[in-house]
Structure 1
């Protein structure tokens, strides 16, 4: 009789685990904008740039008001996202162009020799989100910008967990949105564009107020458009499979380049403006404000096309869509962050935007939308960060998160289930911009900067009463400063590579 009862129980378990159409594994699309500020989309207060499709995701889903990037610059932020590790435990802790190979900033040399493209590779042993999703039975794709390896190295998207890749292997190549080529898997795709090295200027003697003087910076094949068509193709090819699409758009990262109709739209709205004449390796533009707004609207249109395709294929209701940005907005090369109030309620400008661990550099928009699963029009102030995404997706697809992670799943918040575990603290560090560390602990935020100049003092801000981080209250709260200093000391492990040794913390 006991054996019969056990058999009945096992049968019930097996039946309960059987897959029905309603229980099909959810698809995931993670859209990562590049250098998009907290305040650059309508759902987060933007008044000048039109983003109806991104705003619709927020209306139909959940808006996070305290979400943070993994780092204030590109490569380490993406590493945190894909590994679930914060910067104190990371292999990649800054942008590293792997200069020992040779002339890595010579774009003509890179065109001739693809092994000069890309950034320092992450080890083959790295467990990435792509690999975890593959283990869960998902088809995986990366569309957009990689930035964590180089062609023919041990770290390309295809060797690090992505079944399909189309985009820029190299961050530097993404400094031209009309490039000679992008990559599809391990091979170059050559585009119908002439070679032009980033930083090329107007012809000598050009009329800087004539729109025609800037025509050479528009070419035939706009890389974000080419990549987008590949993304739509991936959705169609995998409509019957569970899939994970990591859509790492290069927009609105500089240079200021977008098809003319988008510029014309905003030129008509903003009126005349002074041209940007180029510097720092970026192309000039006749209407820089219109171009920046147009780039964001172009990305917004792509978000709308992704949603429309999901609906066309009948898989919209089974797809979680997340939209966010890799760090705060840039502060240079023609971007008028003050005009657009790109950081929203946080402080704008050099030292506070991209590259810095203040709120404007690391607090980013994040929207999650999933028809029938996430309550529409909701907002959460849960403190969350890029390294939470790995454990969240693991819980969503029913597999164990990696044993080594700094993240906490925010799936209970997405699904409104309650019992959300919370972080005791969030941690960042960055060697670039003279060395920085930061800790966010409840309403407190501690910042170290100028560490390579001998400064190890901690600035302290109360983000609840002082979200713009204007009033350093360290002197009045020594016990909080001591807690933050202890976290900074504990969470920093010596880097694995010489490039990221933190001499200010005693490393040699």
Structure 2
């Protein structure tokens, strides 16, 4: 079994790059436009794992250094109302891959449930449109031999984690890769930090592309616990005496699921800075290859910030304000659990230094990339192409509602319509209460308006009933 070291050639990232000039209004396909003038773009999509809305300098962070991502924001478009697919990783990624929200998509929670063969898959769509598809990092949507395995879902290239629990650890003795069209396990040197390897694989993937447009999906496992990071990233957050600059720190002890960490706050900050550096390496590679003008780069997170592996709620909400002014963290359907940073850069096409209030979510990615690829938008999806907004144009159609549901810790649903947001909580399979907020006046969801707006509550609950379909897998039924 081959062992990977950082000095050895690595595999490639799945980043979504956009090349050429788009002639339509952003919602039409290539077949409807002028084929002779259109060049299909490369697309790079970079996904952080458990990064909060407020963890980047461009979203107000003052204690964590993120210079490359701040530069990406300055050179492109920053979205302030973009949402993840869910509040944990697997259903969020399922929404990304299928264009369906969690009231419709097959995978609605964590657990080793594979994507079925009937799902519309983003890499399959782009692969059929002539793209070379590559992914590095956490997949989490199908184990070896299942219908959700990478080779069954349109990936030409893959190196990373199949099982979502594999992505909990920053070092491991093995990873998965595609060999002769099948998922196989490969050895990795134990001293390698896996996200370093993922980055080198991404760079090699970009270098290996020649004529075909490519779709690269980089699914990092940062800053997800465990809180471990190479020393060079931790050092800026330590004093000359080797103590955390965020003291006092409460050490995370050994003998638990995540390994020991003496400085959880410093380690979290260092992990955010490390992914910033990895993104910087990818951006430099695009410049070296002369690809910046025909490459669309998107950076975002799969859900809100976490409080695991020694990280406390006080660290997230007070020390770093990782959720910004938002309420909640990962596993919440409050804004802090689902609203995420979302940055887009495309030199010469996306106007630098702009901000968008477009109300969008992960299920919009598939139809947007379909528009870029000149592919037809699959039927039965919930997403809309927001390509016009990327290009600074007016959207002809926008979402009337956005919807989420989540089962861990008691079933709950959330719906947003305009500035109104409602969250309904269940116990033993029955609804117990619905909270109602006006986000334009109460971004932090501090004032529940349900008691004084009975009709609005009924309206929002009716929308929840409308958006929810009975899940095909019993694991995700209302409990």
Please give the alpha-carbon distance, in whole angstroms, between the structure 2 residues aligned to 1:175 and 1:356: 20
CA distance in 2, matches of 1:473, 1:422: 26
Give the corresponding residue for 1:363. 339
Query: 1:54, 1:300 within 8 Å by CA — same for their partners in 2?
Result: yes
Query: CA–CA distance in 1 between the matches of 2:335 and 2:103?
Result: 19
2:182 is the counterpart of 1:188: no
- Please state if 1:248 is matched with 2:219: yes
Equivalent residue, structure 2, for 1:467: 443
- The residue that corresponds to 2:17 in the other structure is none
| Residue 455 (structure 1) aligns with | 431
Aligned pair in 2 of structure 1 residues 136, 297: CA closer, same or farther (>3 Å)?
Answer: same
Q: Is the 8 A contact 1:356 1:433 kept in 2?
A: no
Aligned to 1:17: 35
Give yes or no for contact 1:279–1:333 (8 Å, CA) kept in 2: no
Of 168, 173, 176 in structure 1, the residue corresponding to residue 169 of structure 2 is 176
Q: Does 1:295 align with 2:271?
A: yes
Hey, what's the Cα distance between the residues in 2 that align with 1:301 and 1:402? 36
Higher strand share: 2
Alpha-carbon spacing, 1:130–1:15, altered in 2? closer, same or farther (3 Å):
closer
Residues 149-197 of structure 1 show CA distances to partners (whole Å, capped at 9, x for unaligned) of 112222111210111001111111112211011111211121111xxxx
Q: Runs of 5+ in structure 2 lacking a partner?
A: 1-30
Corresponding position: 1:312 with 2:288: yes
1:293 deviates by: 1.0
Verify the 8 A CA contact 2:426 2:433 in the aligned structure 1. Answer: no
Q: Is the 8 A contact 2:136 2:160 kept in 1?
A: yes
Correspondences of 1:144-159 after superposition (within 5 Å): 144-159=137-152
Quick check: 2:386–2:395 contact (8 Å CA) kept in 1? no
Task: Give distance in 2, aligned partners of 1:80 and 1:15.
Answer: 28
Alignment of structure 1 residues 103-122 onto 2, 5 Å: 119-122=112-115
Pair 236,333 (structure 1): closer, same or farther in 2 beyond 3 Å: same
After the TM superposition, which of the residue ranges 257-266 and 434-443 deviates more from structure 2?
257-266
Provide the rounded CA distance (Å) in 2 between the counterparts of 1:342 and 1:16.
Answer: 45
Alignment match, 1:501: 477
Alignment match, 1:221? 192
Give 1:143 deviation, angstroms.
Answer: 0.9
| Structure 2 counterpart of 1:341 | 321
Match of 1:263 among 221, 234, 242: 234
In structure 1, what is the equivalent of residue 156 of structure 2?
A: 163
Higher helix proportion: 1
- CA distance, structure 2, for counterparts of residue 288 and residue 457 of structure 1: 36
2:164 partner SS: coil
Q: Separation in 2 of the partners of 1:267 and 1:169?
A: 34
Larger Rg: 1
Distance across 2 between alignment mates of 1:279 and 1:410:
47
Runs ≥4 in structure 1, deviation > 6 angstroms? Answer: none
Contact 1:461 1:473 in 2 (8 A): yes
Within-5 A mapping of 1:196-215: none
The 1:494/1:413 distance shift into structure 2, 3 A limit, reads: same
Q: Distance in 2 between matches of 1:283 and 1:423?
A: 43
Q: Which residue of 1 aligns with 2:101?
A: 86
User: What CA distance in whole angstroms lies between the structure 2 residues aligned with 1:15 and 1:128?
Assistant: 24
Could you tell me the TM-score, scaled by structure 2's length? 0.88
CA contact (8 A) 2:98 2:120 kept: yes
2:50 to 16, 23, 35: 35
Instruction: Measure how far apart 1:240 and its partner are.
Output: 3.0
User: Quick check: 1:61–1:374 contact (8 Å CA) kept in 2?
Assistant: yes
Give 1:50's match in structure 2, choosing from 43, 65, 81. 65
Structure-2 separation of matches of 1:225 and 1:238 = 21
Asked if 1 retains the 8 angstrom alpha-carbon contact of 2:109 and 2:476, the reply is: yes
Structure-2 separation of matches of 1:382 and 1:279? 45
- Aligned positions of 1:365-404 closer than 5 A: 365-404=341-380
- Give the match for residue 9 of structure 2: none
Q: Is the 8 A contact 1:264 1:290 kept in 2?
A: no
In 2, are the aligned partners of 1:410 and 1:420 still within 8 Å (CA)? no
C-alpha distance 471-15 of structure 1, shift in aligned 2 (>3 A):
closer
Q: 1:262 to 1:497 in 2, by over 3 A?
A: same
Q: 5+ residue gaps in structure 1?
A: 1-12, 97-118, 194-219, 504-508
Q: Counterpart of 1:143?
A: 136
Deviation at 1:486, TM superposition (A): 0.9
Q: How many residues align?
A: 436
Distance 1:393 1:451 in 2: 39
TM-score using structure 1 length: 0.83
Deviation, structure 1 residue 454: 4.0
Q: How far off its partner does 1:279 sit?
A: 6.8
Contact 1:267 1:287 in 2 (8 A): no
Matching residue within 82, 95, 98 for 2:110: 95
SS of 2:436's equivalent in the other structure is strand
Residues 311, 496 of structure 1: CA spacing in aligned structure 2 closer, same or farther, 3 A cutoff? same
Q: 1:420 to 1:57 in 2, by over 3 A?
A: farther
Q: Which residue of 1 aligns with 2:11?
A: none
What does 1:265-284 align with in structure 2 at a 5 Å threshold? 265-268=236-239, 270=245, 272=247, 273-278=249-254, 281-284=257-260
- Distance (Å, rounded) in 2 between the aligned partners of 1:466 and 1:450: 24
Deviation at 1:58, TM superposition (A): 0.6
